[in-house]
Chains A and B, each alone.
Chain A
Amino acid sequence: MFATILFFAFSTVLLLAALGVILARNPVHSVLLLVLCFFNSAVIWLLLDAEFLGIVLVLVYVGAVMVLFLFVVMMLDINIEELRKGLAGYWPVAVAVAGFVAFAIVNIVIVRHLGGAALRMAPPLPAGYSNTHDLGVALFTRYAYPAELAAVILLVASVAAIVLTLRHRPGAKPQNVSQQVRVRAADRVRLVKMPSEKRQ
C-alpha cells in the first residue's frame, strides 16, 4: 500500500518533469527537469528492488552525462523564438513517431514479455538476494559479448568525436613534460665563481 502511494507520487512528478522538459522555454531549465526525471526514475527502480540500477542511474546519468549536457547547453546561444517558428508544421510527424515508439514499448514489454505482470508490483525477492551480484554474473557470463560490443561501439564513437573536432593549431607550444622532468639545474643555471671585491 505504502509502496503504491510512493509509486504514484514519484510517477506523477516524473511525468510532470518530463512534460516540463519539452515545454520549458529555457534549455537550461529543460536539462534540470530532465535531471529531476532521472531522479524519479531512480526512485521507481528502488521501489522495484532494482537498487543497483537506481543508484547507477543517478551516478552515471545525473552525475556525469547530464553535467556534460548542461555544460554544452549553457554554452549554446539558442534563439528559441527562431526555433519555434517552424515547429507547428512538424506536429503530425512528431505525433506519429511518438505513437509508434509508445506502441513498440507497450508491445514488447507488456504483451510479448511480461503479460499482465508488468501492471502489478514486483513479487518480493528472497532474503539474501543481491541485485549487484546477479547483474554482475549476467553481464560477465551470458551477456559478456553484447556488453563488450557496446563498449567497443562507445569507444569508436568517442574516438570519432575526437578525430572530428581535433585541430592541430600551428604555432601552439604545448609542454613536453618528460623533457621538463629531465632538466637538471646545470642545463639552466651556470654558477660563476667570482672573488669578492675589495672595499673601495
Chain B
Amino acid sequence: MWTWEPLRQWLAGLITSYWADPALTAVQILMVMIGLILVMAFYTLAERKVIGWMQSRRGPNRVNLFWVPGLGQPFADVVKLLFKEILIPADANKVLFRVAPFLTLVPALAIWAVIPFAPQRVFANVDAGLLYILAMTSLGVYGVILAGWAANSKYAFLGAMRSAAQIVAYEIAMGFAMVGVLMAAGSLNIGKIIAAQHGGFLSWNWFWLFPLLVVYYISGVAETNRAPFDVAEGESEIVAGFHVDYSGMAFALFFIAEYVNMILISALTVIFFFGGWLSPLDGYLPASSWLAAPSFFWFGLKTLVPMFGFLWLRATFPRYRYDQIMRLGWKALIPVTLVWLFVEGVLLYFHLGPWKGHP
C-alpha cells in the first residue's frame, strides 16, 4: 500500500549499489536515456520541418539519411556543436558557468525515474511520485538562473530574472492542476493515477478536469520557456536570454534539457489527463485485441499529440509581453484552478459524475 521504500532504495542506490541487480538497472536506465535523447534529436528536426510546412517552407532538406532528405540533420547539428569551442567569458564566474548546464539537464532527466512507460514498467514505483515530479521540475530553474548570473552579462541576467519569475508563477498553477488530478485518483502514485482512469477514452481525466487540463498544458508551455512564453530567450530584445554566452556543447545541454522537458510535459499531460498507457478503445473492442490492452504503444502515440501542440503553438502565436505573462499566470490560471478544485471537491463529496460508486 503506502510504502515509501522504493524511493528510499532509489536514493540509497545513488550512493551504493543497493539494487538487487544494479548492472541490469544501469543498462535499462542507459537505454531509456539514449531513447530519450534520440527522440529529442528527431523532435528538433520535426520542429523545424513542421514549422517550415506551416510557413510554406521546406525545412531542413540537405542532410540525407536512408535517402530521406533532412533526416540526418540532427546528427549534423550534434557534430557541429561537438566541434565548436566552449567559450567562457573572462569575467564569468567560472565554476557556476560550467555547472549551470548540468543543473538544468540533470533534473530534466531525473524525473523519468518515476514515469511509467507501460504497466509495471517504471524505475521507481514511488508512492509520492507526484510530489517528486513537482520537486524535480522546480529544480530546473536553478540552472537557468545561475547560467544567467554566472555569465556576468546584462542580457543573460535579464533573461534569467524573467525566467525565474515566470517559472515560480506558473509552478503554482501547475501544482494546483496536479492537486485536481490527485483528488480524482486519491493517490500520489503515478501508476495509480493512471489506473484510476481505466475504461475507454471518455473515462479519462480530461473530460471532468478539462479546465485543469488547459491550465496544466499552458503552464507546462510556460515552464519550459517555449513560445509564446519564451521571454527568457526573447531574441528581439535580449538576444538569447540566459544562454547568450554559451557555445558548443554547453549550449547544447540547455537545448537538450529544454526539449527533454517538452517531451516530459507532454508525457505528464498524457499521464494525468489522457490515461497514460491505457487504450482509448478499451471497452469498444474485444478485450483480447492488443489494441484494447494497455501498452507502451498507446503511451507513445498519445504523447506525440501534446508534443505536436508545442510546435503548433510556436508557429501560431506571437510572443507574450512580460506583464501579460504574469497577468495570465496569477490572475487567470490560478483562479480557474481554484474554482475547478472547488467544483471537483463538491462532485467528490456527493459522489457525483465519475465518482458515483466511490466509497
Interface string of A46-83 (1 = CB under 8 A from B): 11010110011011001110011011001100000000
A67 touches B128 (CB 8 A): no
Is A18's CB within 8 Å of the partner chain B? no
B2 touches A128 (CB 8 A): yes
Question: How many residues of A are counted as interface, with CB atoms below 8 angstroms from the partner's CB atoms?
Answer: 35
CB distance from B70 to the nearest CB of A (A): 39
Is B193's CB within 8 Å of the partner chain A? no
Interface string of B100-138 (1 = CB under 8 A from A): 000000000000000000000000000110011011001
Chain A residue with the shortest CB-CB distance to B328: A177
CB distance from B357 to the nearest CB of A (A): 22
B138 touches A62 (CB 8 A): yes
Per the bound structure, the CA–CA distance linking A128 and B171 in Å amounts to 31
Question: Of residues 26 to 63 in A, which have CB atoms within 8 Å of B's CB atoms?
Answer: 28, 32, 35, 43, 46-47, 49, 51-52, 55-56, 58-59, 62-63
Is A120's CB within 8 Å of the partner chain B? no
Per the bound structure, the CA–CA distance linking A68 and B161 in Å amounts to 10
Is B1's CB within 8 Å of the partner chain A? yes
Chain A residue with the shortest CB-CB distance to B187: A132
Chain B residues with CB under 8 Å of A129's CB are 2
A177 touches B4 (CB 8 A): no
Is A91's CB within 8 Å of the partner chain B? no
A2 touches B12 (CB 8 A): yes
Contact of A133 among B2, B138, B146, B327 (CB under 8 A): B2
A59 touches B138 (CB 8 A): yes
A43 touches B11 (CB 8 A): yes
CB distance from A42 to the nearest CB of B (A): 9
Per the bound structure, the CA–CA distance linking A128 and B138 in Å amounts to 29
CB distance from A155 to the nearest CB of B (A): 15
Is B310's CB within 8 Å of the partner chain A? no
Is B164's CB within 8 Å of the partner chain A? yes
By size class, the interface of chain B is 35 or more
Contact of A131 among B4, B15, B145 (CB under 8 A): B4
Contact of A74 among B138, B157, B188 (CB under 8 A): B157
Per the bound structure, the CA–CA distance linking A14 and B303 in Å amounts to 40
Is A121's CB within 8 Å of the partner chain B? no
Whether A35 touches B142, Cβ cut-off 8 Å, given contacts A130-B2, A132-B128, A132-B188, is yes
Q: List 23 A-B contacts (CB under 8 A).
A: A9-B15, A46-B7, A46-B8, A49-B4, A51-B8, A52-B128, A52-B131, A55-B128, A58-B139, A59-B131, A62-B138, A63-B134, A63-B135, A64-B138, A64-B168, A67-B145, A70-B145, A71-B161, A71-B164, A127-B3, A128-B3, A132-B2, A174-B323
Residues of B within 8 A of A (CB): 1-4, 7-8, 11-12, 15-16, 93, 96, 127-128, 131-132, 134-135, 138-139, 141-142, 145-146, 149, 157, 160-161, 164-165, 167-168, 171, 188, 323-324, 327
Given contacts A28-B96, A62-B138, 13 further A-B contacts (CB under 8 A): A6-B12, A43-B11, A51-B128, A52-B128, A55-B131, A55-B135, A59-B134, A59-B135, A62-B139, A63-B141, A67-B138, A67-B141, A68-B168
**Nearest 6 CB-CB pairs, A to B?**
A63-B138, A130-B2, A59-B135, A51-B4, A58-B135, A55-B131
